[in-house]
Structure 1
Amino acid sequence: MIDSEVFEFVERCNKHTATGPLLGDLLETVKSLGFEHLILSGVPLGGQKLAPMVELNGWPPGWFERYVEAEHAAVDGVCIYSAKTLKPFLWADVPAKWTETEGSRRVAGEASEFGICSGFAVPMLSVHHWQSVLSFASSQKTCKLSQRQQVQLVTMAVYAGMSIQALTDTDGEADGILSDREKEVLLWAAAGKTSSETSQILGLTERTVKWHATRAREAFGVATTTQAVIEAVRRRLIHP
């Protein structure tokens, strides 16, 4: 791949008005580097579900469904390592402590059935999630990339992530994730107030406060109210 192809993709990013064309463009551009599939998603942590966090799904038909249904994200070494670093990495370079577990080996074996054998991951910060990753996948057993090619992939991944953020911000979807009352409950939780204290402040029953907190957790697919607060702050839905 020559640098001009990367710059041309970056320029096209600003013209895409939907995620589908952006995904197709990125897949077509990275084909010359040996990648047939990719996924851009928030990195699930602490019980979060993967499906609601996916922003570009270019995985093979059937693999995404199996991955989600089996909750592979909890044991997949590549996914786990994506939560621990902001440095781009080859899947083959993930430390053995995360890839040599029984669960991670099982995920790798099943992925190979769908033509996913190697890859390159680009973790990045995100306003929608505590951290995101764009993972490029190849059917080749070994992913061979020069340092320059890795930089090219990182550049395209970052601009694709920025474009997704811009599209989401433009369509206003984030504004409807939480109700005004749910935002209030999370704001007081961020201030360290208990459900009982929040109920007195807002003039609600404690049961109602807990219900709103539960709705907020469900909206983000997280296990705790603290995680919901973090997600709301990252998405700029509340400002403690």
Structure 2
Amino acid sequence: MIDSEVFDFVERCRKHANVGQLLTDLLHTVKTLGFEHLILSGVPLGGQKLAPMVELNGWPNGWFERYVDAEHAVVDGVCIYSAKTLKPFLWADVPAKWSGTKASQRVAGEAAEFGIMSGFAVPMLSVSHWQSVLSFASSAKVCSLSPRQEVQLVTMAIYAGMAIQALSQRDDKNEDLLTDREREVLLWAAAGKTSSETSQILGLTERTAKWHLTKAREAFGVATTTQAVVEAVRKRLIHP
């Protein structure tokens, strides 16, 4: 990759109208460096759930759901180390005390089933979370980057994070997206509650709770409740 491609991406960041366009652009740009997938999220701490903290989800179909459902973030060496450093790192360089555990190695083995073998992570300070990380993933067994390529990835990661923040701040119609009840059911969904549990907490029937979740998904134009939670948090409509 030549530096002008990085600057072109930075310039385009200002023009993207939504996170979908930003994700598509970033995935296309880093493909020349051997990366097919990426994810940008807050780093979960103290029992926080990962799903509501995700801001760009470019992971393979099915892997995000498995990672979240199994709560892999708690044991994944890459995720753990991302909370302990602000220095960009290759996944292969995560200290063995975190990457060498059986649980972390199991996560790596499952990721390989989805074509994720190696990667490069860029931890960043965040206004929305304790810390964020943009993790680039490759199907190559070994991720080889020159120092200049690492700087290119860091630059794009930082500007991608800034672009997401700008998109959130300029969207002045967020308040009208959800009703108060839809916010409530999404908030409890973010806390890991089922529709049945949410209905009991809010004094609703389970059918009504599910209906509000359906309306929330429709409001964001997404297919799953997890995606709706992610969008609600990103737009600052709920704060789990």
Same fold (TM > 0.5): yes
2:114 paired with 1:114: yes
> What is the CA distance between 1:128 and its match in structure 2?
1.1
Residue aligning to 1:124: 124
- Unaligned 5+ runs, structure 2: 177-183, 193-235
After superposition, what is the alpha-carbon deviation per residue over 1:24-58, rounded to whole angstroms, capped at 9, x for unaligned?
Answer: 00000000100000000000010000101100000
Maintained 8 Å contact 1:52/1:221: no
SS at match of 1:103: helix
Task: Kindly state the Cα deviation for residue 6 of structure 1 after the two structures are TM-superposed.
Answer: 0.1
Q: Which amino acid aligns with 2:46?
A: G
Aligned to 1:60: 60
Which residue of 1 is the match for residue 88 of structure 2? 88
Q: Using the alignment, how far apart are the partners of 2:13 and 2:68 within structure 1?
A: 28
1:169 is matched with which residue? 169
Q: CA deviation at 1:169?
A: 1.3
Distance 1:175 1:127, change over 3 A: farther
- In structure 1, the residue matched to 2:6 is 6
Against the structure 1 CA distance between its residues 220 and 66, is the aligned structure 2 distance closer, same or farther, given a 3 Å change threshold? closer
Q: CA deviation at 1:74?
A: 0.3
- Alignment check: 8 A CA contact 1:43 1:133 kept: yes
Aligned pairs for 1:68-107 within 5 A: 68-107=68-107
User: Residue 170 of structure 1: CA displacement?
Assistant: 1.5
Partner residue, 1:20: 20
RMSD between aligned residues: 2.8
- In structure 1, what is the Cα distance between the partners aligned to 2:169 and 2:125? 16
Unmatched tracts of structure 1, length 5 or more = 177-213, 223-234
Task: Look up the equivalent residue of 1:78 and give its one-letter code.
Answer: V
Kindly name which structure, 1 or 2, has the bigger radius of gyration based on alpha carbons: 1
Shift of 1:85: 0.5
Instruction: Note closer, same or farther for the CA distance 1:85–1:172 as it changes in structure 2 (3 Å cut).
Output: farther
Offset of 1:130 from its aligned partner? Answer: 1.1
Rate the CA distance shift 1:107–1:171 in 2: closer, same or farther, 3 A: same
TM superposition score normalised by structure 1: 0.74
Provide the identity percentage.
77
**For residues 161-197 of structure 1, what are the alpha-carbon distances to aligned partners after superposition, in whole Å with 9 as ceiling and x for unaligned?**
0000111111258879xxxxxxxxxxxxxxxxxxxxx
Per-residue Cα deviation, 1:183-223 (whole angstroms, up to 9, x for no partner): xxxxxxxxxxxxxxxxxxxxxxxxxxxxxxx99x859759x
1: CA distance, partners of 2:81 / 2:49: 17
SS in 2 for 1:105: helix
Structure 1 residue runs of 4 or more that deviate by more than 2 Å after TM superposition = 172-176, 217-222
Amino acid at match of 2:111: A
Give, in whole Å, the separation in 1 of the partners of 2:174 and 2:130: 15
What's the CA shift for 1:14?
Answer: 0.1
Q: Alignment length, in residue pairs? A: 193
Matched residue SS, 1:134 = strand
The corresponding residue for 2:233 is none
By how many angstroms is 1:135 displaced? Answer: 0.2
